[in-house]
Structure 1
Amino acid sequence: MGRPEPTVLVVDDSALMRRRIADLLGEAGFRVETAATGEEALARLPVLDPDVVTLDITMPGMDGLACLARIMVEHPKPVVMVSALTGAGAEETLEALRLGAVEAVQKPAAGAIGRIGMELVETVRAAASSRPRRVHGLRERLRLARARIAGEDFAAPAPPSPQDAPPSPAEALGGEGVVLIGVSTGGPSTLEDILPLLPADFPWPVVVAQHMPAAFTATLARRLDELCALRVVEAARATVLEPGMVCIARGGADLELARRGGRLQAVCVPASPDRPWHPNADRLVTSALRLLPADRLVGVLLTGMGDDGGASMADLHGRGGRTIAESEDSAVIFGMPQDLIRRGGAGIVLPSNRIAGQLVRWLMPAARRPDRRPDQRTG
């Protein structure tokens, strides 16, 4: 007997939108139940025990964010936020992702399924096998993670290869280099597990390809900048890469590294039509390998659907570069890091809350690590 089809609880105050989403998911093989309010959804959750919840952000009475927070505390489930995905709603959408929502997708329009409808179906299908995250207070998360840094609790679960050994102080201090991060579904909260723990004098710039629409990446960069000791910017135009900064690729486009006037830059380029995910991690890593030796690059592949980043980071690893894949026990969706592991390209596999410490050990000599002096900023 085959596995039963996943059950989805669709929560939206609009009867038309409930019917539209229910029809899309029903035609894709899901069993669908609906709720018109956040209060009704919370009452039905323990009875239905759905595999996934789709949740409107803007509802009268209990809005989507309040409902999501209750779900994640009282009955954690994979939640897909359904919204207009406009710049005006970027703060609310990112807050939903930070609270533990798996992903945010655009509301489907009337008529044929089209790209938006297919994206909704694919996201709900991926969410059905995802791992809901209980998101505790950020201040407490930072305190615990900094305690791990102080204890140097960053050993790999398997014996590392020679290239994964911490560098000598001379290696850590010399030459230019870049940390490249690819991340998708579950990314905003996962990035909060990593970037705020890097010290202000971290020696290499960090470049992030987070799959996300254009309306959200500037807001994501601003929020991370408030949390991080590093300066966080969105690469809306050519951006010179410097130590002590994080560069977030602009949503809806791709990002490549280039050298102009002798300086390394992150350059926003039109999205490649032959690649399904944007900003594209494979394109970013491939461009970096054209400019820098592999041993001056670190690739980090985090939670996400699909396989973006796997091929290029496996190539990076094969050329002698360091790579980290997020482990299954912390990944919201294990697809992207799992692909890197399957290719044999993961130099080390770690949960998200131990990745910052590994980067510090690799790139900073012991005398400059953050456990040797007070924190510069707190979350």
Structure 2
Amino acid sequence: MSRIKVLVADDSAFMRKIISDILASSPDIEVVGRAKNGLDAIEKTALLKPDVVTMDLEMPVLDGIQALSHIMSECPTPVIMLTAANSTDITITAFQYGAVDFMLKPSGDISRDMVNIKDELIRKVKTAATVGVQKLGFIEEQKKKEEVGKEMLFDFFRRSIEDDKKQKVEPGKKTKPQKVIVIGSSTGGPRALQQVIPLLSPTLDAAVLVVQHMPPGFTKSLAERLNAQSRVEVREAVDGDIIEPGKVLIAPGDFHMIVKQQKKNGEVKEVIALTKGEKVQGVRPSIDVLLNSVAPIYGQKAVGVILTGMGSDGSDGVRNLKSVGGRVIAEDESTCVIYGMPKSVIEKKLADFILPINKIAESIMQIS
């Protein structure tokens, strides 16, 4: 089996060396080149045709985003962005341009302690090498087509959902519990969520709870970006949030998010609780943890949606959801950046619907 060819792009000679040494320590990886700026990265990607590029965000001549945009348009290649903790918003932008994943430099742009994330970096490079680049490219023409499609769907949802809303609940007699949609995603998730959440109608008769595997801070930027693109309210969840229809709450990085019932002003309400419990399958927040808390409260009023990601987080939770009458949507392999989590659900025959990413929002609206 041939080794994974990697191009390392960073404006710091020290960082180029340390990242190259870390990757070269794996017998499965070969560093085929180093680039000192964005333009150099573009030229060497075209020349060397690596399987994966690690790309620093802040570089001279052309920065990481500019280089990423060109690479994904001209010679699509899986790219892992290397970023400092204060670059959360621009990291989210990178996913729009086709980045497959990102890594936090432990101590800023010049991180002498990169060895602390050695195993994670090697794992991410190996995962990125399995990605089909046709799912990542940033194609302006396709983006325009998607925008037209969104407007058509918005009109359809607006008419059909408003018709369904003619039978209203009397004031003070709100049916409990409300419907809830739980969406779980990991590698490739930020881009997938941008193809689902903005298509949801403000008349959605369900709350939406999202678990995206990301570090602290990045989930807040993701929520803000999705909120700016959407007609539903999207924000990072806080402890005690009341769960309401038409509101999207994203689990903050490094916290499990669960649902519990709480009596407020004489009425039982479903609220968010954030915990620092043990990691489950190596992740926090965990999709399984959220789904396991949702199942006994919502039962058949819940829908689980499992999107792209490595591993099997979510499959145990959707099994519990199915046991109480809930329904499950899994993203089809054809659009998954990483066909891991949905594959686990599908192979266990837990999915009621298997859909490409561009059909999932429509399905959520119809189910709800």
- What TM bracket, shorter-length normalisation? 0.7 to 0.9
> In structure 1, how many angstroms separate the alpha carbons of the residues matched to 2:179 and 2:49?
48
- Whether 1:341 and 2:346 are equivalent positions in the alignment is yes
Give the structure 2 partner of residue 31 of structure 1. 30
2:251 aligned to which of 249, 252, 267: 249
> In structure 1, how many angstroms separate the alpha carbons of the residues matched to 2:326 and 2:25?
45
Give the structure 2 partner of residue 48 of structure 1. 48
> In structure 1, how many angstroms separate the alpha carbons of the residues matched to 2:167 and 2:26?
53
Note the alpha carbon deviations across 1:142-189, whole angstroms, 9 max, x for none.
Answer: 32245467789xxxxxxxxxxxxxxx9999997511100000111111
Give the structure 2 partner of residue 377 of structure 1. none
- Tell me the amino acid that sits aligned with residue 106 of structure 1: L
Note the alpha carbon deviations across 1:311-335, whole angstroms, 9 max, x for none.
Answer: 2113322432110111111111111
1:277 aligned to which of 239, 264, 283: 283
- Tell me the amino acid that sits aligned with residue 73 of structure 1: S
> In structure 2, how many angstroms separate the alpha carbons of the residues matched to 1:72 and 1:171?
48
> In structure 1, how many angstroms separate the alpha carbons of the residues matched to 2:137 and 2:217?
26
Q: How far has the Cα of 1:118 moved from its partner?
A: 1.3
Instruction: Decide whether the 8 Å contact of 1:180 with 1:300 is kept in 2.
Output: yes
- Tell me the amino acid that sits aligned with residue 127 of structure 2: A
**What is the aligned length?**
342
> In structure 2, how many angstroms separate the alpha carbons of the residues matched to 1:351 and 1:112?
37
Q: How far has the Cα of 1:83 moved from its partner?
A: 1.2
Identity percentage of aligned residues: 34
Give the TM-score of the pair, scaled to structure 1. Answer: 0.85
Instruction: Decide whether the 8 Å contact of 1:81 with 1:101 is kept in 2.
Output: yes
Where 1:240 maps in the other structure, the secondary structure is coil
Give the structure 2 partner of residue 187 of structure 1. 189
Give the structure 2 partner of residue 79 of structure 1. 79
Give the structure 1 partner of residue 161 of structure 2. none
C-alpha spacing 1:75/1:38, structure 2 compared with 1 (3 Å): same
Unaligned runs of 5+ in 2: 158-163, 170-174
Instruction: Decide whether the 8 Å contact of 1:304 with 1:332 is kept in 2.
Output: yes
Instruction: Decide whether the 8 Å contact of 1:172 with 1:362 is kept in 2.
Output: no
Give the TM-score of the pair, scaled to structure 2. Answer: 0.87
- Tell me the amino acid that sits aligned with residue 224 of structure 1: L
C-alpha spacing 1:55/1:271, structure 2 compared with 1 (3 Å): farther
- Tell me the amino acid that sits aligned with residue 187 of structure 1: G
Give the structure 2 partner of residue 308 of structure 1. 313
Unaligned runs of 5+ in 1: 153-167, 364-379
Q: How far has the Cα of 1:27 moved from its partner?
A: 0.9
- Whether 1:291 and 2:292 are equivalent positions in the alignment is no
By relative contact order (CA 8 Å, sep 6+), the higher-ranking structure is: 1
Instruction: Decide whether the 8 Å contact of 2:257 with 2:285 is kept in 1.
Output: yes
- Tell me the amino acid that sits aligned with residue 129 of structure 2: A
Note the alpha carbon deviations across 1:284-314, whole angstroms, 9 max, x for none.
Answer: 0001113221x11100000111111112113
Instruction: Decide whether the 8 Å contact of 2:238 with 2:272 is kept in 1.
Output: no
Give the structure 1 partner of residue 125 of structure 2. 124
2:273 aligned to which of 222, 246, 267: 267
Q: How far has the Cα of 1:275 moved from its partner?
A: 3.7
Give the structure 2 partner of residue 159 of structure 1. none
Q: How far has the Cα of 1:53 moved from its partner?
A: 0.6
> In structure 2, how many angstroms separate the alpha carbons of the residues matched to 1:275 and 1:118?
16
C-alpha spacing 1:353/1:92, structure 2 compared with 1 (3 Å): same
Give the structure 2 partner of residue 93 of structure 1. 91
Where 1:239 maps in the other structure, the secondary structure is coil
- Tell me the amino acid that sits aligned with residue 196 of structure 1: P
Note the alpha carbon deviations across 1:188-208, whole angstroms, 9 max, x for none.
Answer: 111111111110010001000
Instruction: Decide whether the 8 Å contact of 1:318 with 1:345 is kept in 2.
Output: no
Instruction: Decide whether the 8 Å contact of 2:182 with 2:209 is kept in 1.
Output: yes
Give the structure 2 partner of residue 222 of structure 1. 224
Note the alpha carbon deviations across 1:324-362, whole angstroms, 9 max, x for none.
Answer: 111111111111111111111111111111000111111
- Tell me the amino acid that sits aligned with residue 327 of structure 1: D
Give the structure 1 partner of residue 20 of structure 2. 22
Query: RMSD value over aligned CA atoms?
Result: 2.3
Q: How far has the Cα of 1:218 moved from its partner?
A: 1.2
- Tell me the amino acid that sits aligned with residue 31 of structure 1: E
